[in-house]
Structure 1
Amino acid sequence: MATVVRTSSVPVGSRVAFWTESVSEAFVSLDCRAAGGHEDIQGELFVQSLGSLDLARVRATAQSVHRTPGSIGSSGEDFFLVGVQTAGSCIVTQEGRSAVIENGAFALYDTTRPYSLQLTDHFEQLVLRMPRRALEAHLPEAEKLTALAVGADPGAAQILVKTVRMLADDIEFFTPSAALAVSHGLEHLIVAGLGGLTSALSDSDSPSRIKLIQRYIMDNIRDDSLNIAAIAEQLHLSPSSVHRAFALQGQTVMGWVWQQRLEGIRQELLAGSHKGTLTELSQAWGFSDSAHFSRAFRRQFGQPPSSLLRPQNNRYRLPELRTGWSVAVGES
C-alpha cells in the first residue's frame, strides 16, 4: 500500500515541520528548509515498496534538504538513494562533489555520510532507496560515485530512467513476486548506469575537488573563523581530504588562504579604496595580529604594506614619534 502525504492537509505555519517529518520517515532523518527564507513548503509525497527497494515520487516547491552529521548519529539508516529528476533541477553535494541533475538525469547519494540537495521551485524527483549492502555487492566503489550526474543517454542509464518513470505510475499493480523480480532488475540497471562513471573516476584529491574547496574559501575569505575544520564540515569532507587536495599542489590550506588575503589587501591598497587604517584593513581580511600581517605582507611582496599607501592617505600612519621617525601600524 502506498503512503501519500500532502502539506495542504496542515496549516501553513506547520508545513515545513510536517514536511520534514514526512520525508524523514520516507527516507532517512533529514532537515528541510524552504527556499528564500519562506515559512511554507507546498509538496506531496507518494511512497511504495517494490521488493527490496522503496520508490517515492516527490513533488514540491523550492527547498534545501540536508543530511547532517547530527542526524546520522547511530541511527542505523544504511541506504543509498538514487534521485531521478523528472521536473525542475537539483544540485547534489556530498564528499566535496557537486552535481546538477536535470530532467532525465540521476545521481547517487549515501545516507551514512552528510549530503545536501538544493531543489528548484516546482520540482519532481523519483527517489529509489536501496540497502547499502545490495549496491556494494555489485559495485564496491559505490561510495566514490555519489554526487556525480548520470545523464539519460542511450544505454543502461536511459533504460533506468524510463523504467523508474513507468514504475512510479504502475507500481500498485505489481504482485509481490513480480515486484521483487523488478526490484532486482532495477538494482542491476542502477549498477550499469553508475558503472559508466568508474572509468572516469579520479581519486579523492582530483582537480575538481581542490577547485570546489578554493571556491568555498574565496566565498568566505574575509571570515576570521575560516579554518580547515570549518571548510571540511561545510563541504562534507574529512579534514584529511582537504589537506591532501592542497598537498598535491605543493601547498598548505591555510598558506593558500593567507596568500589570497594578502593579495586582496594589496589590491585594495593599490586601488586606494579602503578608508580606514592598516590595522582595520588587515582585520577586515581575517588577520587578527597586525604585526603578523605586516611581516607576511613583506615576505609575500618584498615591501611593507605602508609603501603602497598613496601620499594623501596619511591617516593610515601613526603620529610621529619623538625620534622624528614615523611608523606604519604593525610595522617594526
Structure 2
Amino acid sequence: MTDEVRTVQGVGRAQAQDAWGRLLSSTHLPWSIAELDADAPGFRATVRRRHLADLVLVDCTCDPCSGTRRAHDIAATDGEYLVMLMTLSGREVVGQGGRQAQLRPGSVVVWDSTTPAEFVVQERLVKRSLVVPKAALAEVGSRGLLLTGTVLDSSAPAVTLLGAYLDGLSSTLDDLPLAALPAARNATIELLAAALQDAPAGPPGHPAVVRAAAEAHVDRHLGDPALVPASVAAALGVSLRTLQRAFAPTGEGVAGHIRTRRLARARDELLAGRTVAQRWHYADASHFSRTFKQQFGHNPSELPGPAARAR
C-alpha cells in the first residue's frame, strides 16, 4: 500500500494544463486535458492515491476543466480496468459509449478503460475513484459484468453500502495492518460486484441461477483437488452441458473460473506471507508463477510485503 498526495497550484495556465494532464494520467489512467476554465484566475487540483493490493483508491479535488480519453490514451494504458467514480461535491459530465451522465453530489458512474471517454468539470469538484483491474472482477464471475458508461442508482442499498464502506476505507486504510489488506481488498470487490449487478433471478434451471450456485460451490471447495467441472455439475444435479452453457456468456468456462478463484485465494495467502504453490495444486513454483502472471499481469514476487519472499 502506498499513500501519494500531489497538487497543481500557482502556475501559469499553459503550465497548469500540462501539469494537470500529467498528474491526472499518473494517478488515474492516461487522459488528455482539453482545456481549463478560462474565467478562473488560477487552476488548483489535489490528488491522493492509495493502493489496496491491485486496486487503487483515488481522492481528487479540482477546478473546472475538461479532458478526453482517445486511442492514444487507451494505447498508453497498461492493462484493462473498470473505474467507479463517486461525486462527493460539485458537478461533472462524463460521457462514454454514446451516453452522457450529469453527475451531482451522490452520483455514481462506472466507465471502462478500453473505450473512448470524455469529461467536463463544471464547478469545483471533489470525487472518489476506485480503479479495478478487470482480472479482479473476473474473480466474482458473472456478478462483475456491466455495460460501459453505466450510471448506478445511488439510492440502491448496495450502492449506498459501497459508498459508506469506501468512506470508512479511505479514513482507515493507512492504519490497516498488512495481514488485513487481503480481507479489505476482497470486501471492496464483493461490494462493488453487488453494486454493479442485482442477484440473478429466475427459475431453478435458469443459466444465471445455475452459474450463481456453481460459483458458490466452487468457493466452498477450492481446496479440493478433485474440484473439476464434472464434479461441480454433479453437485448441482445438472448436466455438464447445462453448466457450461451457464458460463458461456463470459467466455471463461467452468475450469477457467476455478483457476481464477484459486489464483485469487493464492494471492491473498501470498500477501499474508504464506507459501502456496503446492497447497493450490501447482506442480512447482515456476508453474505457479507463470500462471499467476498470466492472470494478474505481474509475478508473485512483485506483490508488496512478505509476499515477495513467500512463493
1:98–1:148 contact (8 Å) kept in structure 2: no
Distance 1:96 1:19 in 2: 26
Q: What residue number does 1:68 align with?
A: 70
Partner SS for 1:152: coil
Q: What residue number does 1:58 align with?
A: 60
Q: What residue number does 1:79 align with?
A: 81
Q: Which amino acid aligns with 1:192?
A: A
Q: Which amino acid aligns with 1:191?
A: A
Which of 174, 188, 199 pairs up with 1:172? 174
| Residue 35 of structure 1: how far off its partner (Å) | 4.2
- The equivalences for 1:288-307 within 5 A come to none
1:126–1:168 contact (8 Å) kept in structure 2: no
Which digits, 9 at most, give the CA deviation of each residue in 1:58-83, with x for residues without a partner?
A: 00111112111121126433111111
1:188/1:143 Cα in 2 relative to 1: closer, same or farther (>3 Å)?
closer
Q: What residue number does 1:231 align with?
A: none
| Residue 145 of structure 1: how far off its partner (Å) | 2.2
Partner SS for 1:164: helix
Q: Which amino acid aligns with 2:96?
A: Q
Q: Which of the two has higher C-alpha Rg?
A: 1
- The equivalences for 1:153-232 within 5 A come to 153-196=155-198
2:57–2:129 contact (8 Å) kept in structure 1: yes
- The equivalences for 1:1-332 within 5 A come to 1-8=2-9, 10-37=11-38, 40-73=42-75, 75-138=77-140, 140=142, 144-196=146-198
Q: Which amino acid aligns with 2:8?
A: T
Q: Which amino acid aligns with 1:127?
A: S
Which digits, 9 at most, give the CA deviation of each residue in 1:225-282, with x for residues without a partner?
A: xxxxxxxxxxxxxxxxxxxxxxxxxxxxxxxxxxxxxxxxxxxxxxxxxxxxxxxxxx
5+ long unaligned stretches in structure 2: 202-311
Partner SS for 1:76: coil
Q: Which amino acid aligns with 2:52?
A: L
2:112–2:149 contact (8 Å) kept in structure 1: no
2:10–2:44 contact (8 Å) kept in structure 1: no
Distance 1:101 1:198 in 2: 28
| Residue 192 of structure 1: how far off its partner (Å) | 0.8
Distance 1:197 1:119 in 2: 34
2:56–2:132 contact (8 Å) kept in structure 1: yes
| Residue 12 of structure 1: how far off its partner (Å) | 4.8
Distance 2:11 2:145 in 1: 37
Partner SS for 2:149: coil
1:184/1:142 Cα in 2 relative to 1: closer, same or farther (>3 Å)?
closer
TM-score w.r.t. structure 2 length?
0.58
| Residue 86 of structure 1: how far off its partner (Å) | 0.5
1:66/1:140 Cα in 2 relative to 1: closer, same or farther (>3 Å)?
farther
1:90–1:100 contact (8 Å) kept in structure 2: yes
Partner SS for 1:22: helix
Distance 1:74 1:105 in 2: 28
Q: What residue number does 1:220 align with?
A: none
5+ long unaligned stretches in structure 1: 200-332
| Residue 84 of structure 1: how far off its partner (Å) | 0.9
| Residue 197 of structure 1: how far off its partner (Å) | 10
1:107/1:186 Cα in 2 relative to 1: closer, same or farther (>3 Å)?
same
Distance 1:180 1:108 in 2: 23
Distance 1:84 1:197 in 2: 22
Partner SS for 2:152: coil
Q: How many residues align?
A: 199
| Residue 119 of structure 1: how far off its partner (Å) | 1.8
1:168/1:34 Cα in 2 relative to 1: closer, same or farther (>3 Å)?
farther
2:43–2:63 contact (8 Å) kept in structure 1: yes
1:14/1:85 Cα in 2 relative to 1: closer, same or farther (>3 Å)?
same
| Residue 13 of structure 1: how far off its partner (Å) | 4.0
Partner SS for 1:122: strand
Partner SS for 1:89: strand
2:146–2:197 contact (8 Å) kept in structure 1: no
Q: Which amino acid aligns with 1:6?
A: T
1:3/1:11 Cα in 2 relative to 1: closer, same or farther (>3 Å)?
farther
Q: Which amino acid aligns with 2:140?
A: H
1:51–1:176 contact (8 Å) kept in structure 2: no
TM-score w.r.t. structure 1 length?
0.54
Partner SS for 1:86: strand
